[in-house]
Amino acid sequence: MKGSNAKQNKSINLRLVLSQIVTQGPISRVEIARNTQLTKQTITNMVEELLSVQLVEETGIKKSEGAGKPSKMLVLNKKAAYTLAIRIVDRELEVGLFYLNGELLNRLHTHLDAGDTLLDKAKYLIDTLLTVANLSVSQVLGCGLSVQLSHLKGVEIFAHNRELQQQLADTLGVPVALETTASACASFQMLFGEARLLDSFVYVHLGNQVESAVVYDRRILLGQNGLTGALGELFVTPETDDDTAELGRLNDFASLSALKNSLGRPGCSTEELHHQLQEHPVIERWLEQAAEPMRIAIHSIESLLNTQTIILGGDINDWLLDKLTSELRPFIPSIAQFGERQVVRLVKTPDVANIALKGIATLPLHSALSAKNMQTLYFPAINQPSELQELVY
């Protein structure tokens, strides 16, 4: 991506330089100039601003390829600020405290009872995390939020989540970035994961529903009314449901809701599910049931989009992800197999059990890297932004 040397485009250039340091670091000023085509002076100015709030730091020296002076390398300072993550899946509430690079400090998980007020419970858990870490809310860059409520459909989801985002921002006193779990995980993959050097990919997340996020030109595609990536709604079998006469959807076979139903535990939490994964004989049957619909879904993604790769993750553990990916091979032949490839067709997410919360925690930093990403943010009505927030947002 190219920058601009016009004065009015300072914010664009700052985000561009920061993005280079976050995704390519350690990186020299010379390399940033080569990648962005910004002038040396513009890069010097942008880096000085980032150094002034300690968001980036200089580390080590790289010898010059020619006769020039050795270059100081720039990296993200993960301790310049902290991020929060809030994830709500029906009656489950999970919160986490992270360094800027998606590294977990602490997390808390609870079940919301009938009498619980979500805002109060979330604030209590966040305050607890900050107190234990001896941090104040002024040291927090922002909070990521992802909400999945099975009783809401369509535009109801968008309206509900937007309202909750605003309420949380005002309650916590920090900017809140809202995305689907799949989009949040795609953000993490772009900044710190398997897609740091990729321009296009699709991230697929196996949760209670099967979600996806499409990334093109390193931008997450946002759908109408913020709704996109409902991969689980894809029809994957010609058989019809006895009650509804509808064709079989991917969610009916490959979602964790389908797995929980197979186990006879439709309401169990993700944590409870993980305890049963390697012990229950139903798991093998679910894998057989899920494999062919997932192969069809992968073929559909490749045929329509043909991105550089598909990254598979979810609310599962490494054991189940390994078992599932082995069941998916061989893949159905598609246009993705033609020509030279730099990346394999399907990539497994490392440390998959933690990817959802890590992804959500990445959203505040990801929002700062482009004006388009800023659309996911809501700022508290009253609180004065910190010097760092003022600079990057």
pLDDT band at 343 (very low <50, low <70, confident <90, very high): very high
pTM exceeding the 0.75 threshold for the entire prediction: yes
pLDDT(227) > 90: no
- Per-residue confidence (pLDDT) for residue 63, from 0 to 100: 61
pLDDT(296) > 90: yes
Please provide the average confidence, as pLDDT, over all residues in the chain: 90
Range(s) for CATH 3.30.420.40 in the chain? 82-183+356-392, 194-349
Structure tokens at 212: 């996806």
pLDDT band at 65 (very low <50, low <70, confident <90, very high): low
pLDDT(347) > 80: yes
Q: What is the pLDDT of residues 176-186, one digit of tens each?
A: 999 999 999 99
In whole angstroms, what is the distance from residue 179 CA to residue 349 CA? 19
Q: Residue 35, SS3?
A: helix
Q: What is the pLDDT of residues 92-101, one digit of tens each?
A: 999 999 999 9
Q: Where are the alpha helices (DSSP H) in 207-308?
A: 251-254, 256-263, 270-276, 282-304
- Per-residue confidence (pLDDT) for residue 150, from 0 to 100: 82
pLDDT(168) > 90: yes
pLDDT band at 158 (very low <50, low <70, confident <90, very high): confident
Per-residue pLDDT, averaged over 274-292, amounts to: 84
Domain 7-76 belongs in CATH node 1.10.10.10: yes
Range(s) for CATH 1.10.10.10 in the chain? 7-76
Question: For 82-183+356-392, CATH number?
Answer: 3.30.420.40
Pair 182, 212: CB distance under 8 Å: yes
Q: Give me the percent of the chain exceeding a pLDDT of 70.
A: 93
Per-residue pLDDT, averaged over 72-78, amounts to: 95
pLDDT(226) > 80: no
pLDDT(242) > 70: no
Domain 194-349 belongs in CATH node 3.30.420.40: yes
Structure tokens at 359: 């992804």
- Per-residue confidence (pLDDT) for residue 276, from 0 to 100: 74
pLDDT(68) > 90: no
Cis omega (within 30 of 0) on the bond before 330?
yes
Amino acid at 223: G
In whole angstroms, what is the distance from residue 90 CA to residue 207 CA? 12
pLDDT(5) > 60: no
In whole angstroms, what is the distance from residue 104 CA to residue 16 CA? 26
- Per-residue confidence (pLDDT) for residue 275, from 0 to 100: 78
- Nearest 5°: phi and psi at 95? -130, 155
In whole angstroms, what is the distance from residue 1 CA to residue 304 CA? 25
